[in-house]
C-alpha cells in the first residue's frame, strides 16, 4: 500500500476570541488596517492551515517555491517585462490594479511581517515550507483580486476572503469574510450579500487550486484567457452592485 506523505509542520496559536473580536472591530473602523487583518488570522486560524500547507508542499509549484521563492517574486517586481506583455493581458490588468490603488507588489507581505516580526523570523528558521507558502500567498493576493474581479472595497475583500477560505479551509479567511459580509449586509440591506457569498464559494469549488498554481506563467496571456485556464468566472452580480451603487461605502468612516 502506498504511504501518504506526512504533513509538514507549521506554527499555530490557540483560538483567542477576544483578540479576534478586537481585531475585527479595528478592521470595521478602517478596512485598510491590514495589520488588524493579520491579528484576526493569528487569533482564529489555529491548526486550520494544515491541509493548505500539505497541498502546497506536495505540489510542483510549492516545491519550487520552497527551494527558491525569488523567481515568483522577481516576475511580479519586473515592471519592464510586465509592460512588454501588452494591453489587454493579465500583466497589464495587474499593473493597472497596482497603479490605480497605489499599491506595492510586496505590500501585503510587508504588512504581515510588520505585524509579527518574531513569528516570521521563526518561520524562516524552523518552518521553511510554511514560510514559503505564506510568502507566496501574500504576493498572490493582488493577482487574485485581478483574476476574480473583486475590488479592494470592503465587499470585494470580503468576497475574496470567502473564496480563499472556502478553497483552503482556513478558519481565519472564512470567518473574517463571513463577519465582514454580515456587517456589510447590516449597513446596506438592499445588497444581495448572501447570494454574492454563495457565488464566491462556488467559484472556489470550480476554479483551479490557486495556492498550488504558478499564476505568473499566465501573465503574458489575455486576461480572459488566463481566467479560462484557471476556470475563474467573475461574478456579474458583484460587478452590477458596485457599478450601480452611489451611496456611502460600508465598513469605513470615509465618504466616497
- Give dist(CA 31, CA 130) in Å, integer: 27
Q: Which domain holds residue 69?
A: 50-244
- In a domain, residue 235? The reply is yes
- In a domain, residue 5? The reply is no
Contact assessment for residue 146 and residue 90, using Cβ atoms and an 8 Å cutoff: yes
Contact assessment for residue 166 and residue 157, using Cβ atoms and an 8 Å cutoff: no
76-109 residue pLDDT tens: 999 999 999 999 999 999 999 999 999 999 999 9
Q: Which of 122-126, 130-134, 137-141, 142-146 has the lowest mean pLDDT?
A: 122-126
Mean pLDDT value across residues 241-256: 77
7-50 residue pLDDT tens: 557 777 778 888 888 989 888 887 777 788 888 988 888 888 88
Q: Is the pLDDT of residue 149 over 50?
A: yes
- In a domain, residue 18? The reply is no
Per-residue pLDDT band for 252 (boundaries 50, 70, 90) equals low
180-205 residue pLDDT tens: 999 999 999 999 999 999 999 999 99
- In a domain, residue 160? The reply is yes
pLDDT of residue 206: 97
Q: Which residue do the cell numbers 518552518 mark?
A: 127
- In a domain, residue 206? The reply is yes
- In a domain, residue 29? The reply is no
pLDDT of residue 140: 97
Please give the tally of structural domains in the chain. 1
pLDDT of residue 7: 55
Average pLDDT over the chain, rounded to an integer: 91
Amino acid at each position: 500500500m502506498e504511504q501518504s506523505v506526512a504533513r509538514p509542520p507549521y506554527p499555530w496559536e490557540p483560538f483567542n476570541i477576544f483578540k479576534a473580536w478586537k481585531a475585527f472591530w479595528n478592521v470595521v473602523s478602517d478596512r485598510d488596517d491590514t495589520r488588524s487583518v493579520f491579528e484576526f488570522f493569528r487569533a482564529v486560524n489555529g491548526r486550520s492551515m494544515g491541509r493548505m500547507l500539505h497541498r502546497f508542499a506536495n505540489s510542483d509549484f510549492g516545491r519550487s517555491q520552497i527551494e527558491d521563492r525569488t523567481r515568483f517574486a522577481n516576475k511580479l517586481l519586473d515592471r519592464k517585462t510586465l509592460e512588454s506583455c501588452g494591453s489587454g493581458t493579465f500583466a497589464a490588468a495587474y499593473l493597472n490594479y497596482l497603479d490605480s490603488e497605489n499599491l506595492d507588489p510586496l505590500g501585503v507581505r510587508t504588512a504581515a511581517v510588520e505585524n509579527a516580526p518574531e513569528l516570521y523570523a521563526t518561520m524562516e528558521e524552523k518552518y521553511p515550507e510554511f514560510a514559503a507558502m505564506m510568502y507566496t500567498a501574500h504576493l498572490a493576493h493582488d493577482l487574485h483580486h485581478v483574476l476574480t474581479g473583486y475590488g479592494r472595497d470592503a465587499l470585494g475583500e470580503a468576497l475574496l476572503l470567502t473564496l480563499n477560505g472556502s478553497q483552503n479551509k482556513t478558519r481565519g479567511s472564512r470567518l473574517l469574510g463571513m463577519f465582514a459580509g454580515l456587517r456589510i449586509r447590516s449597513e446596506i440591506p438592499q445588497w444581495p450579500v448572501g447570494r454574492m457569498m454563495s457565488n464566491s464559494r462556488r467559484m472556489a469549488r470550480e476554479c483551479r487550486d490557486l495556492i498550488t498554481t504558478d499564476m505568473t506563467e499566465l501573465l503574458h496571456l489575455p486576461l480572459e484567457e488566463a481566467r479560462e485556464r484557471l476556470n475563474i468566472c467573475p461574478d456579474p452580480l458583484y460587478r452590477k452592485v458596485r457599478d450601480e451603487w452611489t451611496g456611502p461605502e460600508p465598513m469605513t468612516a470615509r465618504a466616497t
